[in-house]
A and B are shown apart, each in its own frame.
Chain A
Amino acid sequence: NFMLTQPHSVSESPGKTVNIFCTGSSGSIATNYVQWYQQRPGSAPTTVIYDDNQRPSGVPDRFSGSIDSSSNSASLTISGLKTEDEADYYCQSYDSSNLVVFGGGTKLTVL
């Protein structure tokens, strides 16, 4: 079964840049779109990146997404970190049957 693997947690200081990686278990992650969701405690998820690198309206340009075919990974980059960025982040794509798959989530701590 296709799986997306994320680090359990990352931490960085305010004002810095952090990259959260999402690695596909098989095939090419570049073949299917990757989405990134932010979930703050007690709230529903919201989309910060869709279709690999597109930002929904209202998401600051501090958030960006990219694909690295050589490592079969997607990454979410957050620059100029703010304390409000502290949240869980999930990557999402789909498998060869077009069934939706989520990564396990990464807890971002901004301290």
Chain B
Amino acid sequence: EVQLVESGGGLVQPGGSLRLSCAASGFTFNNYWMHWVRQTPGKGLVWVSRINGDGSDTSYADSGKGRFTISRDNAKNTVYLQMNSLRAEDTAVYYCARGPYWSPSDDWGQGTLVTVSS
């Protein structure tokens, strides 16, 4: 059974940093692209970033470019999202998801809430 478990969310002040983790199990991790998608409470889904199986290819939405960094540790079956210079508008539930590069459509985690507030 595929499992994706996010962690690392919490309350952070504007301008602060946070690193999210997503621990994966139940599949051959290094064979898959991984995505981060976020959702402001009560709003829609917004794609954030993706990384390929060996970590050599990454992409970002404009909202996170220059502030967010996606990475992975295939030995630990974990994908990360380092978020710096956080803003109030980054407040959201962050989901990690597995899928081809064009869609996070295979499996989703349950999400971790990030709140950016003073």
Binding site for B on A (CB under 8 A): 32-33, 35, 37, 39, 44-47, 50, 56, 90, 92-94, 98-105
Given contacts A44-B110, A45-B108, contact A102 B45 (CB under 8 A): yes
Known contacts A44-B109, A44-B110, A44-B111: A100-B44 contact under CB 8 Å: no
Instruction: Report the tally of A-B residue pairs with Cβ distances under 8 A.
Output: 58
* CB-defined A-B contacts under 8 Å, sample of 21: A33-B102, A33-B103, A39-B45, A44-B108, A45-B37, A45-B108, A50-B103, A50-B105, A56-B105, A90-B45, A92-B47, A93-B103, A98-B101, A100-B102, A100-B103, A102-B37, A102-B45, A102-B46, A103-B44, A104-B44, A105-B44
Cα distance, A7 to B45, chains bound together (Å): 15
Interface size on B, residues (CB 8 A): 20
CB contacts (< 8 Å) of A47 on chain B: these are 105-106
The chain B residues found within 8 Å of chain A, CB to CB, are: 35, 37, 44-47, 50, 59, 61, 95, 101-106, 108-111
